[in-house]
Amino acid sequence: MILSGARRTLAICGLLSLAAFAHGEDNSLTRDVAIIGGGAAGTYAAIRLRDQGKSVILIEKEDRLGGHTNTYEDPVTKTHVDYGVVVFHDNQLVKNYFDRLNVSWLVTDPHFTSGSPVYLDDQSAKPVNYTSPDARAALQTYAAHLAQYPKVESGFFLPDPVPEDLLLPFGEFLAKYPDVGNAAFTIFTFGQGLGDFLSQPTLYVFKNFGLEIIQDIGTGFLVTASQNNQEIYQHATKILGHDVWTSSHVASTPHRRKEGIQLEVKTPSGRRTVKAKKLLIAFPQKLDKLKPFDLDELESSLFGKFMNTGYYTSLVKNTGLPGNFSSTSVGANTPYQIPKLPGVYAVSATAIPGVFDVKYGSPTGLSDDFVRGEILSYIKKLQANGFAEKVPGEPEFVAYHSHTPFELTVARDEIAGGFYKKLYALQGHRNTWYTGAAFDTQDSSMLWNFTEEYILPDLLA
Ligand SMILES: Cc1cc2nc3c(=O)[nH]c(=O)nc-3n(C[C@H](O)[C@H](O)[C@H](O)COP(=O)(O)OP(=O)(O)OC[C@H]3O[C@@H](n4cnc5c(N)ncnc54)[C@H](O)[C@@H]3O)c2cc1C
C-alpha cells in the first residue's frame, strides 16, 4: 500500500511514539519475550511469537541467524552447498513455516542418499570388504520398538518408571534384539553426532532416529528449492528487522523472577538493557554457557549434569579426488562395523566441482586445531591410498565449522532417576523457558514442533 504525504507523516509519528514506548527513558528495550540464541528453535519462536502479537527481541552471539545451518557460496559460480543442516521433515508445520518465510520448498525422491560410497577402514582409509546389509526388515522391527513410546517422538516424555530398554546402552539393546542389527549402520550414519553410539543409552538413539525419519526415508524429505538453507534465516532476519541483535550476548542478568526479567546485553553498538516479561533460552544449556544468567542451585544442579559430544563439518578443496568420490568410514573389527570415534564419518562430493564435504565426530569436544589436522591427514591418506590424482599443493579448507557442544546427554542413572521430569519442571521457573536440542532432539523440524506445541502456549499466555 502506498501512503499519501500527510498520512505517511502521521504513520511515521505513530511509529516513532511506539519506538519511544519500547525504548525506556533509560535507553532500555522493553519486550514481551527476550529470546537468546537464534538457531533453529530460537528463530522459530521469534517469528511465531511476533506473528501472534507478542513483542520480541532475539539475541544471537554470531553475526547471522541459523546456528547449525552452514551454507557455502562458491565465489565464482554462486553455487550453494549446505554443509550443515540439509533436510527437513515433510510435514505441514514445516511447510507452513517455510511458506510464512517465503522460502520455496520441494520433496526429494524416497531413499534420499548421496550415492553409493566406497567403504574405507576408519583408521587407514584403505578399502574394506564391507557390503551394506539390507536394513529394511530391521528398520521395521526398530520402528516397532519406537512405536511403544509414542510420546518420546515429540520430547523427553518418558514412562515412569523409565523402561529398561530405553536405558540400555544401544550396543546392549542390539544384542538383546538381534533382529535390529542390520539397521545399526544405517541408524549410525543418519544419527551422526551421537559420539560413542553403541554406549549411548538407547533413549538418545530413539530420539535421534525416530519414526518421522524412517517415514521420510521411505517417502522423501523436504528441502529448500534453492538448496541454500541459509535462505531460511536470511528471510527470518528480514522479517524480524530491528528485533534481532546479532553479534550480541547477555553479559549479566540483574534479575530473573516472576515480576520480569532484566538482562544486560553486550552489542556491537555498546551495552544495552533489555526488560522482558519472559525469557526463552534457546542455545545449548551447558553450565558454562549459562553463567551470565544467574542460575540458582536447582538450575545449576540440573544443567551441570549435561555431557556433550563433538561434531565438526568442513569443505575441502585441492584434494585430487575424482568429482564423484564418496566414502564412508567402517570399523574393521568393531560390532556392526561401526567406526571408532574420534574420526571421519564420511567424505562426499558436493555440487561444486573439486570441493568435498568431510564430516568428523567425537565422543567429547576436541580443539579445532586438532580436528582440522585430523581431517587433512585423512585426505592425505586417501591420496596415499591411490584414490586421488596428483595435484600441486596441499588440500585446503574452504570452510570449517565446529558444532560442539553437539549432543547433550546425561548418564543412564540420571535418566532412570527422573532427570527429564525435573528438567521439564524448570519451564516457567523464574519466568524462564527453554527450547533447543537438549530439550528434544537434534532435528530442526522436530524442534519447531516441540517449540510450537510445548513452549509457545506458555509464552503467549
Ligand atoms: C553438520 C550438521 C548437520 C545437521 N543436519 C541436519 C539436517 O539435515 N536436518 C535437521 O533437521 N537437523 C540437522 N542437524 C541438527 C540441527 O541442526 C539441530 O537440531 C538444530 O540446529 C538445533 O537447533 P537449536 O536451536 O537447538 O540450536 P542451534 O542451531 O545450535 O542454535 C543455537 C544458537 O544459539 C547461539 N548461541 C549460543 N550461545 C549463545 C549465547 N550465549 N548468546 C546468544 N546466542 C548464543 C548459537 O550461535 C546458535 O545460533 C544438523 C546438525 C549439524 C551440526
Q: Is residue 31 part of a domain?
A: yes
Q: Quick: pLDDT tens for 155-177.
A: 999 999 999 999 999 999 999 99
319 in the same domain as 207 = yes
Within this chain, do residues 215 and 231 fall inside the same structural domain, yes or no? no
Place of cell 567402517: 330
Domain match, 383 and 337 both: yes
**Which parts of the chain register pLDDT below 70?**
1-26, 111-115
In a domain? residue 104: no
Cβ-contact 290, 299 below 8 angstroms:
yes
Flag whether 48 is in a domain: yes
Instruction: Mark whether 207 and 248 lie in a shared domain.
Output: no
**Is the domain of 284 the same as that of 416?**
yes
Ligand 1 site, CB within 6 A? 36-42, 59-62, 67-68, 84-88, 249, 282-283, 289, 311, 313, 403, 436-437, 442-445, 447
Q: What pLDDT shows up at residue 24? A: 53
- pLDDT score, position 182: 97
Task: Give, using CA atoms, the residue closest to atom 18 of ligand 1.
Answer: 442
117 in a domain, yes or no? yes
Give the pLDDT of residue 25. 54
Asked if residue 186 is part of any domain, the answer here is: yes
What does the buried/exposed string (b/e) look like for 161-182 if buried means 16 or more CB atoms within 10 Å of the residue's CB?
Answer: ebbebbbbbbbbbbeebeebbb
Last residue of a domain, one of 360, 385, 402: 402
Same domain, 209 and 121: yes
Per-residue pLDDT at 132: 87
Residue 369: the pLDDT is: 98
Asked whether residue 159 falls in the same domain as residue 183, the answer is yes
Closest CA to 398 of 433, 329, 352: 352
Cell numbers placing 457: 502456549
* Total domains, the chain: 2
CA angle 154, 362, 286 (to 5 degrees): 55
Q: Residue by residue, what is the 3-state secondary structure of 227-252?
A: CCCHHHHHHHHHHHHHHEECCCEEEE
Which domain range does residue 417 map to? 17-68+227-305+411-460
Judge contact between 266 and 59, C-beta under 8 A.
no
Reported as type and span, the H/E element at residue 98 is helix 92-100
400/376 Cα distance (integer angstroms): 12
- Does 184 fall in a domain? yes
Say yes or no: 123 and 216 in one domain: yes
Among 384, 402, 420, where does a domain finish?
402
> What pLDDT score was predicted for residue 92?
98
> Nearest residue CA, atom 1 of ligand 1?
84
> Facing residues of 119 across strands?
328
My answer on whether 422 and 390 are in the same domain is no
| 279, part of any domain | yes
Same domain, 207 and 322: yes
CATH code where residue 450 lies: 3.50.50.60
Give me the pLDDT at residue 425, please: 98
Average pLDDT over the chain, rounded to an integer: 93
CATH number at 129 reads 3.90.660
Asked if the structure places residue 61 within a domain, the reply is yes
Q: Given ligand 1 and candidates 64, 442, 447, which is best to mutate, with the most ligand atoms within 8 Å of its CB?
A: 442
pLDDT digits (tens, 9 = 90+) for 76-123: 999 999 999 999 999 999 999 999 999 999 999 886 555 678 999 999
Q: Are 169 and 199 in contact (CB under 8 A)?
A: yes
166 and 290 both lie in a single domain: no
Based on the domain organization, do 293 and 314 belong to the same domain?
no
In angstroms, what is the span from residue 67 Cα to ligand 1's centroid?
4
